[in-house]
Each structure stands twice: as C-alpha cells, then as structure tokens.
Amino acid sequence: MTCKKKVLFPVIIISCAISLQSFAQEINNDYIDSGFIFYDGKYIEAPYKVEMRDLAVFINGIQITSALKIKPKIDVLEDPGVPLDLTTDMTLGEMADIKWQDLMPFYFAKLYYLWATYNKKEAQDRMIEYYRNLPNVAKAERVRGEYVKLWDHSGNSLLVDNYVSDLTLQEPPTMEEIQSNIYKLVVMYRKQLLKGNSYFFFANGTIIILTDRKAVNVLREMDATLTDPSLNLDEKKTRLHKIELIPEENDQLTSSLIENYLRNPQFEKRLAEATQSIINKYGVSSIRSYDW
C-alpha cells in the first residue's frame, strides 16, 4: 500500500495540473451577453464575466459561492481517554465544552480514534460503552443507526454522532484539486449562460436555474407581477409559486425576492430581445400567457 501511494502521488499532481491547464484554456476573459442573473432579487447587468477569485466563483465581481478551504486531516493517534476534570454532576452541555487539543469535544476525538483503529461495528460498540462509563452519563442508547442518545444525571439528553465519514479520515484535497473543482464550476456557469439559461443567486446559498425558454416565460410573468402596484404581498407570492419560480414551502425566499426586486431598462430591453429570440426559435405558442 505504501508503495502504491509513492507511485500514484506524482501522477495525481500531473493529472491535476493538466486538468487545470485545460480548464484555463476553456475559460477566457470574454464577457457573456446571454442569460439573466439576479442576486438577492436584484438584476445584475450583462455582459457577465465568470471567474475564479480567492477560491470562490465570482460573476461581475459578486461572490456567488462560498470560498473553498483546505481542511486539515484530523489524526487522533493515541486514545484520548477520559478527561480528569469530568465530574459526576457535570451537564452534557458542560461536557461538550471540554476540548481535545482545542479542536473538538473530547468524545469526538475518541470517536475518531476508534474509527481509525477498529472496523465500523466494533468502533460503534466501543463508543457506546465509552459513553456509558463516563461519570456524568446516566444512560447511553443507540438510536436511528448512526447516533447515540446520552442522558446526564439531571435527565437532560444529547444526540451525538456515532459515525465518521471515510473522507474525514483521508488526506485533504490539494490546492490543485480544490482549484480544479472551482474551475469546473466556472466552466459550468459559463456554459449555462451561453445557452441562454438564467440564475437566481441568494445570499443564503440557494440557487435557482431556469432554462432559456422557461426563463423567458417566468421572467416575463415575474416582472409583471412584481411591478404591479395593484397586487398585495399574498397575491404576488401566489403568482410566483404558480409560475414555479420558487417552491411554495419556501415562503421566506419568496418574500425576500418580492422585497428586494430591482431591475433596470437594460433588463426590459434584453428580456424583449430574448422573447423575440424564443419566438423565432420555437414559435409564438412558446410564449405562455397566464390567465389570473
């Protein structure tokens, strides 16, 4: 196994470097004039420049993805044991504040150690037994397969993981691999915009994508709805749900779009051009008329 790692390591780096080079060739500084982008309800003017910056994807200078970070591999090479300051009257909340090397609750360090040392079943069984022997834990029971429920002597309970992902135990991705993943996102967003597809990005991480024909129909009705002063908030929400822009159960996102909606003359001009393009491509019947 050790030999394989030594042989494969440079191959991975070379492969990754080649991938980055090919992605870099595919991404250039050309701006994209097709598609529509909204960020938190505000229309972003075209043309669009999609690029990687600070390990995140930016469009026209707006960060639309969280920055990826290299998380160090956590190695617990020795059994953490039981903290000396853990007492019988300590609550589960207080227990969680006792850290292993200032990184994580001590019992998670124990879990990492067991998963790196034993097979899954034995590691989980040993972890439950470990909890039962802690001085402040009155009871520990397995629940829903991969979890353990703990009770302290005051009757308070806490649900904790009894599972460690194999990915967590592996070496973290290299900087080249992270950059490669971000470049893939940049390429994807560029390709979708070039097809005429549209994006709604929200600060909470929600992303809505609409294909070209649906985008034109939805954007036309969305704009008509959100700029109609005769409609109240509930009526606007109902229409946005019926045109399938935002799922009905996501009321908070719908309210945010209504409250923050902002477009300009460029949007109106481009939407009219996109409408005509769809008519030329698919016929007049492709433009939907909503009967409210």
Under 8 Å between Cβ of 45 and 174: no
pLDDT (0 to 100) of residue 3:
36
pLDDT at 108 over 60: yes
89 pLDDT band, cuts 50/70/90, is very high
pLDDT in tens, 255-282: 999 999 999 999 999 999 999 999 999 9
Sorted by sequence, the CB contacts under 8 Å of residue 111 that are 6+ apart come out as 123, 127, 161, 162, 164
Domains in the chain: boundaries? 27-69+173-286, 92-169
- Mean pLDDT for all residues in the chain: 86
What's the average model confidence in pLDDT over 201-229?
93
Nearest to residue 269, comparing CAs of 280, 259, 277, 260?
277
- Coil, helix or strand at residue 48: strand
* pLDDT for position 79: 94
Q: Predicted confidence band at 102 (pLDDT cuts at 50, 70, 90)? A: confident
| pLDDT value, residue 133 | 96
Where residue 70 falls among pLDDT bands split at 50, 70, 90?
low
Higher pLDDT, 49 or 10: 49
Q: Average of pLDDT values for 67-80?
A: 78
**155-171 residue pLDDT tens:** 988 888 887 765 455 56
Place of tokens 């491509």: 281
Lowest mean pLDDT among 66-70, 120-124, 280-284: 66-70
Residue 273 vs residue 72, higher pLDDT: 273
Q: How far, in Å, CA of 266 to CA of 47, rounded?
A: 11
pLDDT digits (tens, 9 = 90+) for 28-55: 568 999 999 999 999 999 999 999 998 9
Q: pLDDT band for 86, please (50, 70, 90 cuts).
A: very high
Is omega for the bond preceding 83 within 30 degrees of 0, making it cis?
no
More confident of the two residues 222 and 23: 222
Q: What is the pLDDT of residue 5?
A: 30
Kind and range of the H or E run holding 159 = strand 157-161
